[in-house]
Structure 1
Amino acid sequence: MKRFLLQDSTNYTDSEYQDYILQGVSRTFALTIPQLPKQLEAVVGNAYLWCRIADTIEDDPHLALALKVSFSDQLTQLLAGHGSADEWACKLLPQLDSDTAAAELDLIANSQRMLRLFLSFKPAQQAIIQQCVATMVQGMMHYQSHQPHAGLPDLPALNDYCYHVAGIVGEMLTLLYCDYCSKVRQHQDLLMPLAVSFGQGLQMTNILKDIWQDQSRGICWLPQDVFGRHHIELQDLPSQRTEVAFQQGMAELVAIAHTHLQDAMRYTLMLPRSEQGYRNFCLWAIGMAMLTLKNIHRR
Structure 2
Amino acid sequence: MNPSPRAFLLGPLLKRVSRSFYLTLRVLPPGMRDPIGLAYLLARAADTIADTSLVAPERRLALLLSLRAQVNGEPDDGALSRIESEVAGQQAQPDERTLLESLGAALAILRETNAADRAAVRDIVTTLTTGMEFDLRTFPDETSEQVVALQRFDELDRYTYLVAGCVGEFWTKMTYAHSPAKLKAAPDAMLARGVRFGQALQMTNVLRDCARDLRIGRCYLPGDMLARHGLTPTDLLDSSASAGARPVLADLLRTTLALYRDALDYTFAIPASAVRLRLACLWPIMIGLETLVLLARNDAWLDPARVSKVRRNDVYRIMAASLPLVASNRLVRAWASRRMGAIEAELNAATPR
The two structures have a TM-score, normalised by structure 2, of 0.76
Q: Does 1:73 align with 2:71?
A: no
Q: Output one character per residue of 1:41-60: Cα deviation in whole Å (capped at 9) or x when no partner.
A: 12211111111112112222
Equivalent in the alignment of 1:16: 8
- In structure 1, C-alpha distance between the alignment counterparts of 2:225 and 2:209, rounded to whole Å: 18
Q: List aligned pairs for 1:224-263, cutoff 5 A.
A: 224-239=223-238, 241-263=240-262
Q: Is the 8 A contact 2:185 2:269 kept in 1?
A: no
Equivalent in the alignment of 1:173: 171
Q: List aligned pairs for 1:116-265, cutoff 5 A.
A: 116-147=108-139, 149-183=147-181, 184=183, 187-239=186-238, 241-265=240-264
Q: Which residue identity does 1:121 align to in structure 2? A: T
| 1:95 to partner: Cα distance | 2.4
Equivalent in the alignment of 1:5: none
| 1:243 to partner: Cα distance | 4.5
- In structure 2, C-alpha distance between the alignment counterparts of 1:17 and 1:138, rounded to whole Å: 24
Equivalent in the alignment of 1:108: 100
Distance 1:240 1:249, change over 3 A: farther
Distance 1:166 1:243, change over 3 A: closer
Q: Output one character per residue of 1:28-47: Cα deviation in whole Å (capped at 9) or x when no partner.
A: 11111011011111221111
- In structure 2, C-alpha distance between the alignment counterparts of 1:251 and 1:205, rounded to whole Å: 12
Q: Does 1:269 align with 2:290?
A: no
Equivalent in the alignment of 2:43: 51
| 1:99 to partner: Cα distance | 4.9
Q: Does 1:93 align with 2:91?
A: no
Q: Secondary structure at the match of 1:77?
A: helix
Q: Is the 8 A contact 1:202 1:289 kept in 2?
A: yes
| 1:220 to partner: Cα distance | 1.8
Equivalent in the alignment of 1:7: none
Q: Is the 8 A contact 1:205 1:292 kept in 2?
A: yes
Q: Output one character per residue of 1:247-294: Cα deviation in whole Å (capped at 9) or x when no partner.
A: 121121112112111111111111233432111101001111111111
Q: Which residue identity does 2:154 align to in structure 1? A: P
**Higher normalized contact order (CA 8 Å, seq sep 6+, divided by chain length):** 1
Q: Is the 8 A contact 1:167 1:200 kept in 2?
A: yes
Q: Is the 8 A contact 1:35 1:280 kept in 2?
A: yes
Equivalent in the alignment of 1:279: 278
Structure 1 residues 99-108 or 158-167, which shifts more?
Answer: 99-108
| 1:124 to partner: Cα distance | 0.3
- In structure 1, C-alpha distance between the alignment counterparts of 2:27 and 2:76, rounded to whole Å: 32
What fraction of aligned residue pairs are identical, expressed as a percent?
28
- In structure 1, C-alpha distance between the alignment counterparts of 2:283 and 2:17, rounded to whole Å: 18
Q: Secondary structure at the match of 2:271?
A: coil
| 1:130 to partner: Cα distance | 0.3
Distance 1:216 1:243, change over 3 A: closer
| 1:100 to partner: Cα distance | 4.6
Q: Which residue identity does 1:266 align to in structure 2? A: D
- Superposed CA RMSD: 2.1
- In structure 2, C-alpha distance between the alignment counterparts of 1:245 and 1:173, rounded to whole Å: 38
Q: Which residue identity does 2:84 align to in structure 1? A: L
- Number of residue pairs the alignment of both structures matches: 289
Q: Which residue identity does 1:157 align to in structure 2? A: E
Q: Is the 8 A contact 2:61 2:136 kept in 1?
A: no
- In structure 1, C-alpha distance between the alignment counterparts of 2:92 and 2:258, rounded to whole Å: 34
Distance 1:98 1:62, change over 3 A: same
Distance 1:187 1:296, change over 3 A: same
Equivalent in the alignment of 1:61: 53
Q: Secondary structure at the match of 1:145?
A: helix
The two structures have a TM-score, normalised by structure 1, of 0.89
Q: Is the 8 A contact 1:22 1:29 kept in 2?
A: no
Q: Show structure 1 runs of 5+ residues with no match.
A: 1-9
Q: Which residue identity does 1:67 align to in structure 2? A: R
Q: Which residue identity does 2:250 align to in structure 1? A: A
Q: Which residue identity does 2:191 align to in structure 1? A: M
Q: Is the 8 A contact 1:268 1:283 kept in 2?
A: yes
| 1:81 to partner: Cα distance | 2.4
